[in-house]
Amino acid sequence: MGIEQTFAIIKPDAVKSGYSGAILTAIEENGFSIKNLKKVHLTKAQAEGFYAVHSERGFFGELTDFMSSGPCVVMILEREGAILAWRDLMGPTNPEKAEAHTMRKRFGKSIGENATHGSDAPDTAAFEKSYFFSCFERV
């Protein structure tokens, strides 16, 4: 595995609860370089565009309402095997099934409010990075 980039979000529930700093610390302690970072407050339409892949699923409306409910922190992370490493550090979608050291176990409240998001594949990471960061913003 080589050096790669992934996209990550600290979701509105974790930002509102004041967990951003602890999550950022964990990211760096686990060998990630934070290449880009900004705080954004998505509109409903922006959340719908980002999660368009899920538009036919029953949870789409609830998901996009939640993601537009408050500010979130969006990031591009880099390290060897970044996509899998970030997904491992996040833990499963359901915080109840996550291991103690994971972000979702430590900071998630439920399947819907699970503190973090991460890309699941290189093509997804490419789309997600470009959705939030222009080519001029990326380092």
| Catalytically active residues, by annotation | 117
2 three-state secondary structure: coil
Residue recorded with tokens 């093509």: 123
Supply φ then ψ for residue 71, to 5 degrees.
Answer: -65, 155
Per the CB < 8 A criterion, the answer to whether 12 and 63 are in contact is no
CA distance 57 to 71: 24
CA distance 101 to 91: 9
50 three-state secondary structure: helix
One-letter amino acid at 95 equals P
